[in-house]
Amino acid sequence: MFDVVRLVHLSAAGGPAADQLMTDLTAAVTGVARRVLVQPTLPGVRNGGDVLAHLRFAEAADWHACAAAVGAVLAGPGVTHVDGAEYDGGTGGFAEPRAPGSVYRVLLLRVAPQTPDATVDRFEADLLRMPRYIPTMLSWRLSRVRRGIGSVPWTHVWEQEFTDLDGLDGPYLMHPVHWAHVDRWFDPECPDVIVHDRICHSFCENDPV
């Protein structure tokens, strides 16, 4: 499988222009992509854009066949910025949902260059340890980025499905395993920090077509 994420920032969130962009994005990959999730983001995103698109293809060649059409949509009027990543497989594997999740969440991040491989391995292991303790996380996948676009050269995509928005905001973000073990990799005041740049924390209703 080959996946693509695009976080689209608009000059005016919502309204007919946003609806048209989502319609055009969906049309550009219909019949090629195996999963098409194109939804407005929910309140609370951080650098997450106004529209989130998550596309899954059988292989990279399928994405390349429609990438120009997607790019043309995202170059249209009203689009002010796009962050995104293209990736395949999963560094730590993928879990099938324990039950259907109503919220899809994605985090784009960049590990600092020259970070030792062993340190990156520990960071990835900490992320993948989280589902053991957070039952509202119904599926998850951590992937290394093949190609990133936007604010920084992203290195990782950390994505999940949650029971609902409360399951993301509460049991996930506020869980001790998050702030006691994972946050140290992101906290500039912690000597373990390896994620120095802007991150994109985005989520939307999980309603693929």
The model's pLDDT over 18-72, given as tens digits with 9 standing for 90+, comes to 999 999 999 999 999 999 999 999 999 999 999 999 999 999 999 999 999 999 9
Of 180, 182, 187, 192, nearest in space to 140 by CA = 182
Q: Which amino acid is at 196?
A: H
- Report pLDDT for 194: 93
- Report pLDDT for 209: 81
Please give the DSSP secondary-structure letter assigned to residue 180: I
Partners of 94 in beta bridges: 141
Q: What is the Cα–Cα distance from 77 to 67, expressed in whole angstroms? A: 18
Of 100, 102, 84, nearest in space to 42 by CA = 102
- Report pLDDT for 180: 64
Domain of 51 in residue numbering reads as 2-205
Partners of 161 in beta bridges: 104, 139
- The H-assigned helical ranges of the chain are 15-29, 60-74, 117-129, 165-167, 176-177
Tally of helices (H runs) and strands (E runs) in the chain:
5, 9
CB neighbours of 73 closer than 8 A, spacing ≥ 6? 21, 24, 25, 28
Count structural domains, the chain: 1
- Report pLDDT for 144: 94
- Report pLDDT for 101: 86
Number of residues that make up the chain: 209
Let me know the angle formed at the C-alpha of 151 by 146 and 153, rounded to the nearest 5 degrees.
30
Of 20, 56, 19, 18, nearest in space to 37 by CA = 56
Q: What is the Cα–Cα distance from 1 to 90, expressed in whole angstroms? A: 10
Cα 62 from chain centroid (whole Å)? 20
- Report pLDDT for 166: 85
- Report pLDDT for 86: 97
Cα 71 from chain centroid (whole Å)? 18
The residues of the chain scoring below 70 in pLDDT are 89-99, 171-181
Q: What is the Cα–Cα distance from 20 to 4, expressed in whole angstroms? A: 20
CATH number at 153 reads 3.30.70.100
CA distances, 153 to each of 9, 117, 120, 156, 209 (Å): 18, 18, 16, 10, 29
